Amino acid sequence: MPLTARKPATIPLNEFTATEIVRAVAAGEATCESIARACLEHITVREPQVQAWQHLDPEQVIVQARALDVSGKRGPLHGVPFGIKDIIDTCDMPTEYGSPIYSGHRPKNDAACVALGRGAGGLLMGKTVTTEFANQTPGKTRNPFDPARTPGGSSSGSAAAVADCMVPLAIGTQTTGSTIRPASFCGVFGYRPTWGDLRLTGVKEASGSLDTLGLIARSIEDIALYRDVLLRAAPEPLPAEAGVPRIGFCRTHLWPIVEPATQQLLEDAAKKLAQRGAKVIEVTLPPEFERLIVAHRWISSFEFARNFTWEIENHWEQISERLRNGRIKDGLSCPFERYREARDFAETCRARFTDICGDCDMLLTASATGEAPIGLNSTGNASPCAIWTTLHVPSVTIPAFKGPNGLPVGAQLVARRNDDRRLLAAARWVYQQLT
Amino acid sequence: MPLTARKPATIPLNEFTATEIVRAVAAGEATCESIARACLEHITVREPQVQAWQHLDPEQVIVQARALDVSGKRGPLHGVPFGIKDIIDTCDMPTEYGSPIYSGHRPKNDAACVALGRGAGGLLMGKTVTTEFANQTPGKTRNPFDPARTPGGSSSGSAAAVADCMVPLAIGTQTTGSTIRPASFCGVFGYRPTWGDLRLTGVKEASGSLDTLGLIARSIEDIALYRDVLLRAAPEPLPAEAGVPRIGFCRTHLWPIVEPATQQLLEDAAKKLAQRGAKVIEVTLPPEFERLIVAHRWISSFEFARNFTWEIENHWEQISERLRNGRIKDGLSCPFERYREARDFAETCRARFTDICGDCDMLLTASATGEAPIGLNSTGNASPCAIWTTLHVPSVTIPAFKGPNGLPVGAQLVARRNDDRRLLAAARWVYQQLT
C-alpha cells in the first residue's frame, strides 16, 4: 500500500513513520511520550524474540520524551524515536562496539550523528546490536520475519528494530554491505550516502576510506528527512520526478552468486519498470571493475588492522577468532604498496563511473544474494555491495520483493556520487511501481 | 652541521635524534631509562619558559622506560621518547583537546598512532599543548627561541617540544597549516603526509576530508622512520637521490603576504639549489587555484560545525568567542550545496595537480609568511599551507633559514600525492645544500 494512502488514526503509534510522527506531534494528535510508550510496549513484546537492542533503558526514554513534550518543537525530528548502532558513541548510554573489550564503556560525548538527531528533537531510544567492531562476527539479533535466520549485518539491530516497528528510524554504518544487506534481509529501506557527506565523528572507525553512515527507515520520505537532519540542513520534500527515470540494469560480474529466484525477481522488475514507462537499458561494468572486490579487501583490511592497533596489542585474547584470522590477518599481511595500489585503482574507477552510467539516472542491481539465509552464525554475503561501496556512490535498497520463502528481498538502486536526492526521489517512483 | 657529522658521544642524550637513540640503545650505549631521564631533566629546566606540555608525569615515564629496558627490543622505535598533541586519545593520560569541556577527560584507549608508536617500542612522554580543538585559540606554549613569540599552531607544543630537545619526535595534526607552520616557526622538520595514508582513529576530528597527522622531528631520517612505524611497515632507509632533483619554484598567489625577507630567502634558495646542480624552474598554479583558499574555508567550516554538534548543543558557553564567531559561525551558515561545490572543486584541482607539476619532482614554496610573530594571542597565518592541504599532497618544511631577527624560517617542499618517500629523500638533499 502506498504510504500516502495510510490513515494514521487506524494504525498503532509504533507503526508510524517518522514523517507521520512529526506531523502528528505538531498537530497535537500525539505526544512524544505516547509515541515513545507505544514503541517501548511493542519492544517489550517482541524483543525476547528479535534481540535488536544492546542497550535500552525505558525509564530514561520516558524522561527524555517528557522533556521533549515540555520543551516544544526543537527541530524537524521532534518526537521521533531513533536507534543507534552500538558502534556509535553516546554520552548517556554504554557503547560497546560489539566487543567484550568495551564492556560497560561510557564515552564522554555523543557522536555527531547522535547529537544532530537529538538537536533536531529526535528521541534516542537506545543502542542497537552490531557485529563485533562492525565486522563479521554476529551479535544476538534475529531476523524479525524468521528467528532462525540472520537479520544481516553488521547493522543487525538497526535493521531489525526498524523492520519490527520498534523505532521508525535507525542509524547503521557500511564499510562493505552493512546497511544495504540487513535492510534487504529485513524488508526495509536502507540508504548508504555518497562517501564523505555525513560526518563520522564519534563512530568507531573500521576503514575510514570506505566507511559511511547508513540510514534505515520504513519510508523513503523518512530517509530524506533524516539525511537533511544529519546534514544540519533545513528539510526539503523530495523533488517530484522529472519524467520517468532512465534505469541501467546492471548485473555485475557477481551475478552468478545471486540466487536464481532473486535473479528472476530483478529481471522481472526491470521489465515491469520498462512497462511503466521507464527507459531501461543494460549497463555492463568494464571487466577490470571485477578487481574492485579485491581492492576493497586490501583497503579495508589494511586500514582496519592499523585502526585497531590498541585492541590488537592489549586485548588480543578478547578478539574473536574470525576477526583475528580474517580482516586482521589480511591487514597485517598487506604491505603499504599493495594498499596504495588498491586505493589508486579504486580512485581510477570512481572517476570512470560517471561515464559508465551514460544517460542513466541510476542503476538497478542486487542488494544481496537472496533472502536472509538460515542460521545466526553468519550475517550473509556482502559482496553484491562491495563494488558500490568502493566506488563511493550513493545507494538505496527498497523492499520490493518477496523471495521463495516469503521473506523480504531488496532491490538496490545506485547513482552517481552527489546524486543522493535524485536517487531517493527516483527510488520512491521505482518502489511505487514494484509494490 | 649535517647530521651525519654528529658525534653522539659528545652531545647530551636529550639532543639525540630518534635514529641515534635507536642505534645507541641497541648497541647498549644507552638505556631507555637514561634517555628518558635526560629528556625529563631538560624538560624540568626549560618547561617553565616553553610550556610545551599539557600533561607529563615523570614517574609514569620512568616506569615505562624501565619496562622497555627489561622487555628488550620491541620494535624499530625502541626507547625513543615521543610527544603526542593533546587532540589525540591516550588510555593512560588525560586528553583535553585544548578545551575546558574536556577537562580531566580520560579516553578508554590509545589512538591508532599512539598504539603504533608504543607497539614499536616508543616511549610516550606526555601530551603536548594544542590550540582549542586544533583550531585558532592558542594554548600556553611559547616559542623556544623567544618566549614573546608564538610557536605557531595548532600543534604548538609538539613543535616546541621537539625544537627544544625535550623529545626527538612528536605527532601533531594538520587541517590548514597546523604542522608545517609551527615546525617552521620553531626551526624543526615538519611533515604532512599524503591525505589518507596515516590513520586518524582516536584523533579528535576537525575536518575529516582535510585532516592528517603531522610528524615533527629534528632530522629527515627520523621523519621517515616514524612514518614507517605509523604505517606499520618495516622501516627502510630513504633511497639515495637518483640524480639531482628537479624543483619547481612556486610562489603562488599568496606571495604578497609572504614577508619580503622571507621572499628573499626563498629566491636565494632557488638560485643556490640551481647552482648546486638542481634543475629549477618556475611553476605557476592556474589562476583558479586561488579559489582553493575559499574552498578550504567552506569544507573545513562545514565539517567542523557538524562534527562539534555535541559540544555546540551542550557546552556552548565553554567554547571560545573566537571559535564560535569564526569556524563555527562560518560552518553553521554554510549550506550543503556550497560545501559540496567546494569539495568538488578541490577534487578537480587535485586531479590537475599532477600535470601542473610537469617534470618537477617537487615544488619549493613558503612554509609560513616569515618568522614567528611577536605575541601569544595568535598562532600566525596558515594560508601558505591551505592550498597544499586542500590538494591532499605531501609536504615537508625544512629548517633552512634564519630570518631578520635570527629566528627560524622554514622552506616548504611539496610533492604529488603518494610521492612521500621521494619527497623526503629530496628534502634531505635540499636541506644539505641550504645549511
User: What letter represents residue B318's amino acid?
Assistant: Q
- Residue B342 CA to residue B350 CA, distance in Å, equals 12
Q: Tell whether A235 is covered by a domain.
A: no
What pLDDT, on the 0 to 100 scale, is given for residue B10?
84
What pLDDT, on the 0 to 100 scale, is given for residue B108?
97
What pLDDT, on the 0 to 100 scale, is given for residue B431?
97
B213 and B265 share one domain: no
Chain A interface, mutation test: which of B198, B229, B310, most A Cβ atoms within 10 Å? B310
Q: Among B188, B205, B230, where does a domain finish? A: B230
Question: What's B89's domain CATH number?
Answer: 3.90.1300.10
The band of A244, judged by pLDDT with boundaries at 50, 70 and 90, is confident
- Which residues have C-beta within 8 Å of that of residue A88, sequence separation ≥ 6? A95, A111, A113, A114, A127, A171, A173, A202, A203, A204
- Among the residue ranges A237-246, A347-356, A394-403, B279-288, the one predicted with the least confidence is A237-246
- A140 has catalytic annotation: no
Query: Is there a contact between A209 and B200 if contact means CB atoms under 8 Å apart?
Result: no
B60 and B152 share one domain: yes
Provide the ipTM.
Answer: 0.96
A279 and A390 share one domain: yes
B275 and B157 share one domain: no
Q: Which cell goes with A58?
A: 525505558
What pLDDT, on the 0 to 100 scale, is given for residue B241?
74
B178 and B260 share one domain: no
B80 and B210 share one domain: yes
Convert the pLDDT of each residue in B62-94 to its tens digit. 999 999 999 989 999 999 999 999 999 999 999
A361 and A398 share one domain: yes
B196 and B279 share one domain: no
Strand pairing partners for A214? A172
Count the domains in chain B: 2
Contact at 8 Å (CB) between A186 and A147? no
What pLDDT, on the 0 to 100 scale, is given for residue B9?
65
Could you give the percent of chain A with pLDDT greater than 70? 98
Of B99, B158, B178, B219, catalytic? B178
Strand pairing partners for B191? B215, B396
B119 and B158 share one domain: yes
Of A155, A156, A178, A300, catalytic? A178
Chain B interface, mutation test: which of A309, A350, A422, most B Cβ atoms within 10 Å? A309
- Is residue A2's pLDDT more than 80? no
Query: Is there a contact between B231 and A199 if contact means CB atoms under 8 Å apart?
Result: no
* φ and ψ of A25, to 5 deg: -65, -45
- Is residue B302's pLDDT more than 70? yes
What pLDDT, on the 0 to 100 scale, is given for residue B367?
98
Q: Tell whether B331 is covered by a domain.
A: no
Mean pLDDT of B225-244: 91
B256 and B215 share one domain: no
Query: Is there a contact between A309 and B112 if contact means CB atoms under 8 Å apart?
Result: yes
What pLDDT, on the 0 to 100 scale, is given for residue B82?
98
Q: What is the mean pLDDT of chain A?
A: 96
- B178 has catalytic annotation: yes
Residue range(s) defining the domain that contains residue A263: 246-290+342-434
Contact at 8 Å (CB) between A216 and A159? yes
Nearest to B156 by CA among B230, B214, B235: B214
B100 and B29 share one domain: yes
- A85 has catalytic annotation: yes
What pLDDT, on the 0 to 100 scale, is given for residue A3?
45
